[in-house]
Amino acid sequence: MSENFQADICVIGGGSGGLSVAAGASQMGARVVLIERAEMGGDCLNTGCVPSKALIAAGQAAHTIRSAGQFGIQASVPEIDWAHVRDHVKGVIASIAPMDSVERFEGMGVTVLQASARFTGPREVTTDKGQVVRAKYFVVATGSRALVPPVPGLSDTPYFTNETVFDNADPIGHLIVVGGGPIGVELAQAHRRLGAAVTVVEMFDVLGRDDPECAGIVKQRLRAEGLTLMEGTKVLSVAQAGSGVSVTVEQDGVRSELTGTHLLIAAGRRPNVEDLDLSAAGIDHTPKGITVDGGMRTTNKHVFAIGDVAGGLQFTHMANYHAGLIIRQTLFKMFWAKADQSAFPWVTYTDPELAHVGMTEAQAVETLGEGGFRLLRWSFAENDRAQAERTTHGLIKVVTDKKGRIKGATIAGPHAGELIMPWVQAIAGKQKIGTVAGLTFPYPTLSEVSKRAAGSYFTPALFSERTRKIVQFLLKF
């Protein structure tokens, strides 16, 4: 016999966004059913953000040992125990997992069904275990998975994706990475620092979505560490070559063959929609994800879609932001609440990190025109803390309009993900550049690059000939 459930909100997907909706709604008094077919915590906890940052931390530790000589400390070549690196990554996941566990959410009053779900009507889903859930609202938060491109030979060749690479406990001699986006370059640098030779193959530009100048700073560091970056390069085919892999590529019309020990596919993401039977609920979707309006509502007014499955920017904090919109609309009937990405930040966790919010320089040219904005810059080489720590490889760029309103910021440098936050707040608060320039930053900190960049807005006026004359006149009294 089937088991029936009635709910105010049924959430499909126990990743970051889905868990945020479930926890918030349940603790505010709503009846919530959460359906998750795999591991609680979703991609972020199990195969994405958390394990990748743990692996990056391991790579950073190895890099610190290699580069200690610049501080007068004996440097050495670190010995890498790949099995222990894998255990470190798994240990980090395990330490966080209780926060996302079935037990914790059931303790909040959420009904958790560990099953697959599909729509069987506009306001009904059925699980593969025969459970039927009817609800006032549904939230699809099924996330995305690694996109595996239709490359000839790939189906017969062993390869990693972000869903499998963190299980590896064996030494990697030469890792070939297909895809030069954030996932590809983060994992590429981490593996390089752990001793592997690494080649990144990208059809267009590595980190092509970011400001080219700041992305160039990151790419310069990657190459300096020994990574090979092949941009404008198409993968024609792959094949197993003995115990390794062979990748045939084409660059500038010239074909060549790369050989490595392992292959990592990081060529984008695909939304998880295939098993949901969306048509049964009248929900439109495309290959990019479920179609939603500004409030994340689908073509079925009782169903919302959030996070990666809704297309757009695919970040954990975007899914969490979407969750807040859903809470406001479903529980408090604030149906005018719409997504606003004008102050939405993102970070690529390479070394140096690459962080961004708002307009890039190119977007400012397109939106405001060549003479319609000011571009402010400050180098980490002019920051005393960066000099002390030998981390001077970096730059901050800030975009303002002609009236000094802050429109965007990009930082390539150490801890850029932390340093971007004042600019996120400034854009969200529609602040002018004088607000940041007038702040007092502790010395010596890396955060002073923000104050210096902001202060440079006023430099032309402060040190002009007109100002000199005014000062000289006033000093006569």
Burial of 421 (0-12, 13-18, 19+ CB in 10 A): middle
| 55, containing H or E segment | helix 49-66
Instruction: State the pLDDT at residue 1.
Output: 57
Q: What is the DSSP letter of 243?
A: T
Residues whose CB falls within 8 Å of the CB of residue 331, separated by 6 or more in sequence, listed in order:
25, 28, 30
CB 207 within 8 A of CB 215: yes
pLDDT per position as a tens digit, 106-158: 999 999 999 999 999 999 999 999 999 999 999 999 999 999 999 999 999 99
113 backbone dihedrals φ, ψ, rounded to 5°: -110, 115
Angstrom CA distances, 416 to 46, 238, 378, 391, 400, stand at: 25, 36, 13, 12, 19
Mean pLDDT of 369-384: 97
Q: How far apart are the first and last CA of the chain?
A: 95
pLDDT per position as a tens digit, 74-99: 999 999 999 999 999 999 999 999 99
The first and second tokens of residue 462, run together, are 């402060």
Mean pLDDT over the full length of the chain: 97
Q: DSSP for 120-175?
A: EETTEEEETTSEEEEEEEEEE---EEE-----TTGGGS--B-TTTGGG--S--SEE
- Structural domains present in the chain: 3-144+270-332 (3.50.50.60), 154-268 (3.50.50.60), 345-462 (3.30.390.30)
Instruction: State the pLDDT at residue 464.
Output: 86
Tell me the HSE value of 238 on the side-chain side, using a 13 A CA sphere. 25
Binding-site residues for NAD(+): 179-186, 202, 268
Say if strands 254-260 and 262-265 run parallel, antiparallel, or are unpaired. unpaired
Q: What percent of the chain has pLDDT over 90?
A: 97
Q: Which residues pair with 412 in a beta bridge?
A: 354, 395
Q: Residue 291 — pLDDT band, cuts 50, 70, 90?
A: very high
pLDDT per position as a tens digit, 380-431: 999 999 999 999 999 999 999 999 999 999 999 999 999 999 999 999 999 9
Cα Rg for the chain, rounded, in angstroms?
25
User: pTM score > 0.85 for this model?
Assistant: yes
Instruction: State the pLDDT at residue 462.
Output: 84
* Nearest to 164, CA basis, from 65, 265, 88, 248: 265
CA distance 77 to 223: 19
Is it the case that residue 367 has pLDDT exceeding 80? Answer: yes
Binding-site residues for FAD: 53, 142-144, 308
Binding-site residues: 53, 142-144, 179-186, 202, 268, 308
CA distance 312 to 47: 20
Single-letter amino acid code for the residue at 59: G
Residues whose CB falls within 8 Å of the CB of residue 128, separated by 6 or more in sequence, listed in order:
37, 115, 116, 117
pLDDT per position as a tens digit, 296-329: 999 999 999 999 999 989 999 999 999 999 999 9
Q: DSSP for 164-215?
A: TGGG--S--SEEEEE--SHHHHHHHHHHHHTT-EEEEE-SS-TTTTS-HHHH
Angstrom CA distances, 296 to 41, 50, 80, 293, 313, stand at: 21, 26, 45, 5, 13
Instruction: State the pLDDT at residue 461.
Output: 87
Is it the case that residue 240 has pLDDT exceeding 60? Answer: yes
380 backbone dihedrals φ, ψ, rounded to 5°: -65, -20
Q: Residue 2 — pLDDT band, cuts 50, 70, 90?
A: confident
Q: What percent of the chain has pLDDT over 70?
A: 100
